[in-house]
Structure 1
Amino acid sequence: MRWMGLDHGTKNIGIAFTDDLEILASPFEVWPNQGEASLARLARLAKEEGAQALLVGLPLHKDGAESATAPLARKFGEALRDRTGLPLVFWDERLTSVEAERLLAARGVKAKDRKARLDAAAAAVMLADLIETRRAKGRAVGSAEV
């Protein structure tokens, strides 16, 4: 199953995809968050890229409670689900930016370039976590069940 992962922010949206076999999660791009225009553009991208399910990062506090921006992420995810008809999973995005920053630095990406790529890398980190979780639970490729 090809997943489209999104790191929703008030300014930017990080985009990543898995391959069809759910082996790799790869950063795609970072787009500015332009509200309704972004939803339309993302729905087109999902179709063009053959996405079969959506993952949207859910901002949580360290104690697991939803942050003040969590309702915005939920509204965004639900609106994109409604536009695409694709199954939607919300995913804990705690520490994904920290991990994405570490991975980009380890790959030798210069500090000035890391900022521009960070949100897409964070979306890929979430997708990699999803893939690992699904494998551990023995979920079949082609199922949107986590």
Structure 2
Amino acid sequence: MRIMAFDYGTKRIGIAVTDPLQIIATGLDTIHPKDIFDYLKKYLQTEQVERFIVGEPKQMDNTPSQSAQHVKGFVTLLKKSFPEIPISMLDERFTSKMASAAILASGRNKKDRQDKGLVDTVSATILLQNWMDTVR
């Protein structure tokens, strides 16, 4: 079974998943928030997901950031829509900066590096990899 991670934003949600053996985290997609639950229902028809990981937005002083209320609403809807799948929260500070650096290091062109959807997907991948590293 896979683990799925979300980098939630009010304009886009970056999604990453593990392989079925939960060894490698891979970017899956970037979805508009209004489409996420239809997307997940369709995805879960063909793939088994054992856990959701959701990035928890925090300030540098460890207090919730302004977007935390939106993430909390998303988590509430996830629990209601998929009650059988447990949800873990993970501090997402610096994932966007790390994602931008990873995209730059990969040699992508300037247009790719400015693609916010790509940054969100890579951020979700970093979040998922961090969670896997913590659990191991």
TM-score normalised by structure 1 residue count: 0.84
Equivalent in the alignment of 1:118: 119
Residue 97 (structure 2) pairs with residue 98 (structure 1): yes
- Map 1:26-105; keep pairs closer than 5 Å: 26-34=26-34, 37-84=35-82, 85-105=84-104
SS at match of 2:41: helix
Equivalent in the alignment of 2:130: 129
C-alpha separation in 1, matches of 2:81 and 2:51:
12
C-alpha separation in 1, matches of 2:44 and 2:64:
27
Residue 9 of structure 1, CA deviation: 0.2
C-alpha separation in 2, matches of 1:45 and 1:105:
30
1:32-90 per-position Cα deviation (integer Å, ceiling 9, x unaligned) = 222xx422322332443321110111110011100121121021022112212200011
Deviates more, 1:76-85 or 1:89-98: 76-85
Residue 10 (structure 2) pairs with residue 13 (structure 1): no
SS at match of 2:26: strand
Root-mean-square deviation (CA), in Å?
1.5
Deviates more, 1:108-117 or 1:40-49: 40-49
C-alpha separation in 2, matches of 1:64 and 1:45:
33
Letter in 2 for 1:101: S
Structure 1: any 5+ residue segments left out of the alignment? 136-146
Structure 2: any 5+ residue segments left out of the alignment? none
SS at match of 1:73: helix
TM-score normalised by structure 2 residue count: 0.89
Letter in 1 for 2:49: A
Deviates more, 1:57-66 or 1:77-86: 77-86
Equivalent in the alignment of 1:144: none
Equivalent in the alignment of 2:108: 109
